[in-house]
């Protein structure tokens, strides 16, 4: 089945930092999806391994016959995943995207789930579809160690409890948003620089009155490159839910 939104565009925003080994395969998979008007936007934070250059070469390859299927946004500093997403999603909205997909470049998110997420959004009219590891049918790669699984589950339970949300995978990084939802959130007002961006964005969407639907996915372990998670992002992720809750009470 091919999804045709009547000229409306779906933009996949994919931040990169040192993903030279993964990007060619990911670009091929994303741009091979049966979605008319699909656009892939790479947001590269000046990767020392040449990811930005590879992205430009791929864009030249895929942008043929007058079709602009892929673009690259180069940033001059690496100041967090959240900031990269804000830049890419804001650009996608300015370019007329009707839906914006967040996706990692490391292959952990199943590309084949994007049409299912889009179909869910169109059929239900919700502003957010979450590719969820923690609803029935969702799963994690067996290569994840017990410590990582427990930490991930704890982080979700902790954020859900503090914020009082029903989204089971509130830390998920694989999401499809309607343009209207992102505009209501006002991306420029987001505070998170790192992975807590995922939590803040979902919380503000729900607070703005938008509904979310979670669909099950299998989260794979990356096969190339290394994780970008560090101590500072972990601390930010722990503090952000409390900060959001306190601000909400004052509001």
pLDDT digits (tens, 9 = 90+) for 106-125: 999 999 999 999 999 999 99
Between helix 231-250 and helix 197-207 the angle, nearest 10°, is 20
Say how many C-beta atoms besides its own lie within 10 A of residue 237's C-beta: 21
CB distance 200 to 238 below 8 Å: no
pLDDT digits (tens, 9 = 90+) for 118-172: 999 999 999 999 999 999 999 988 777 777 778 778 888 888 888 888 999 999 9
- What is the rounded distance in angstroms from the CA atom of residue 218 to the CA atom of residue 110? 7
Q: What is the pTM of this model?
A: 0.89
CA 82 from centre of chain: 10
């Amino acid at each position: 089945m091919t999804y045709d939104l009547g000229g409306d565009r779906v933009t996949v925003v994919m931040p990169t930092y040192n993903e030279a080994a993964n990007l060619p395969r990911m670009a091929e998979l994303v741009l091979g999806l049966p979605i008319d008007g699909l656009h892939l936007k790479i947001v590269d934070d000046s990767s020392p391994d040449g990811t930005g250059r590879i992205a430009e070469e791929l864009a030249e390859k895929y942008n043929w016959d007058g079709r602009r299927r892929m673009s690259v946004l180069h940033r001059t500093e690496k100041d967090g995943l959240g900031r990269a997403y804000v830049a890419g999603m804001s650009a996608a909205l300015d370019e007329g995207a009707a839906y914006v997909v967040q996706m990692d470049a490391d292959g952990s998110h199943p590309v084949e789930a994007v049409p299912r997420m889009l179909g869910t959004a169109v059929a239900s009219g919700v502003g957010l579809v979450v590719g969820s590891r923690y609803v029935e049918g969702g799963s994690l790669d067996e290569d994840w160690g017990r410590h990582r699984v427990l930490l991930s589950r704890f982080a979700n339970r902790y954020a859900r409890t503090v914020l009082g949300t029903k989204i089971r995978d509130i830390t998920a990084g694989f999401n499809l948003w309607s343009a209207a939802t992102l505009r209501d959130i006002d991306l420029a007002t987001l505070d998170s620089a790192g992975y807590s961006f995922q939590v803040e964005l979902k919380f503000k969407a729900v607070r703005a009155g938008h509904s979310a639907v979670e669909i099950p996915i299998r989260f794979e372990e990356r096969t190339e490159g290394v994780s970008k998670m560090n101590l500072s992002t972990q601390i930010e992720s722990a503090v952000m839910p409390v900060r959001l809750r306190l601000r909400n009470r004052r509001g």
